[in-house]
Chains A and B, each alone.
Chain A
Amino acid sequence: GDSVTQMEGPVTLSEEAFLTINCTYTATGYPSLFWYVQYPGEGLQLLLKATKADDKGSNKGFEATYRKETTSFHLEKGSVQVSDSAVYFCALTAGGSYIPTFGRGTSLIVHP
């Protein structure tokens, strides 16, 4: 079945450091790929998405590129802020399914 694998957390960084959170997937057909973010005490919010190979999704300084050849959708940000501290979830929809499948999440902690 479809699945998403994310790197284990927590990821702990100092402010202004470069961020990478790895995500790889297994899916039938050509999935759409998403990153969701969950800030403390809040619901999941869509951060960015990409719907076909080589697309780059971007939002709030975050970006991720849909890499079909490596089945990856790694999340990156050039300079993180304390306010980016949250849990990040990689997700996909595939094979005509409308139901997002999520990874287990990666906690990001950014220190001043």
Chain B
Amino acid sequence: GAGVSQSPRYKVAKRGQDVALRCDPISGHVSLFWYQQALGQGPEFLTYFQNEAQLDKSGLPSDRFFAERPEGSVSTLKIQRTQQEDSAVYLCASSLGGRGVNTEAFFGQGTRLTVV
């Protein structure tokens, strides 16, 4: 596609519900990043994929957060047993280069998750 696409754009979840957020990166992009952006804050790194390999998950806040990219393209961020503190915008970005290759990251519009 023309850019990074995320779905849904908005998600309201009841506390304790599981959610799945989808990211379609730009075709051919090797790197894929997930970020969490709380209201009024900058994006905070969650996890990084190079193709299908999850090379860095140091930013995932708890074991309730899980991400996958099984075929090296589409990625899903799953949050189990959502809590109110999970409410944020979740951003996905992709870039052409792989690890250690500093190329521009292109961001999607994000998914705004509200946990009630």
Chain A's interface: helix, strand, loop or mixed, by majority? loop
Give me the interface of A with B, judged by CB distance under 8 Å: 4, 32, 36, 41-46, 49, 51, 89, 93, 96, 98-105
Q: How far is the CB of B82 from chain A (nearest CB, A)?
A: 23
* Chain A CB within 8 A of B105 CB: yes
Q: Look across to chain B and name the residue whose beta carbon is closest to the beta carbon of A100.
A: B105
CB distance from B84 to the nearest CB of A (A): 21
Q: Which residue of A lies closest to B41 (CB)?
A: A104
CB of B104 within 8 A of CB of A46, answer yes
Distance of A41 Cα from B9 Cα, bound (Å): 10
Contact-size category for B: 20 to 34
Interface string of B1-27 (1 = CB under 8 A from A): 001100000000000000000000000
Say whether B42 contacts A46, CB under 8 Å. Answer: no
Chain A residue at smallest Cβ distance from B95: A98
Instruction: State which of B60-68, B70-78, B107-115 sits at the interface with chain A.
Output: B107-115
| Residues from chain A with Cβ under 8 Å of B31 in the complex | 98
Q: Are A102 and B48 in contact (CB under 8 A)?
A: no
Is the beta-carbon distance between B109 and A101 smaller than 8 angstroms? no
Report if A44-B41 is in contact (Cβ < 8 Å); known contacts: A51-B102, A98-B31, A98-B97.
no
A102 vs B100: C-alpha distance when bound (angstroms): 18
B42 near A102 with CB under 8 A, answer: yes
Q: Are A32 and B102 touching (Cβ within 8 A)?
A: yes
User: When the two chains form their complex, are residues B43 and A44 in contact, meaning their CB atoms are under 8 A apart?
Assistant: yes
Q: What does the 1/0 interface line of B24-62 toward A look like (CB < 8 Å)?
A: 000000010101000011111100100000001000000
Shortest CB distance B112–A (Å) = 11
**Once the chains are docked, how many angstroms separate the CA of A44 from the CA of B35?**
12
Establish whether residues B4 and A43, one from each chain, have CB atoms under 8 Å apart when the complex forms: yes
What distance in Å separates the Cβ of B103 from its nearest Cβ neighbour in chain A? Answer: 9
Contact A43 B107 (CB under 8 A): yes
**New contact pairs (16) apart from A43-B91, A89-B42, A102-B35, CB-CB < 8 Å:** A32-B102, A41-B109, A43-B3, A43-B4, A43-B107, A44-B43, A44-B93, A46-B105, A49-B104, A51-B102, A98-B48, A98-B99, A99-B33, A101-B45, A104-B41, A104-B42
Contact assessment for A45 and B97 in the assembled complex, using a CB-CB cutoff below 8 Å: no
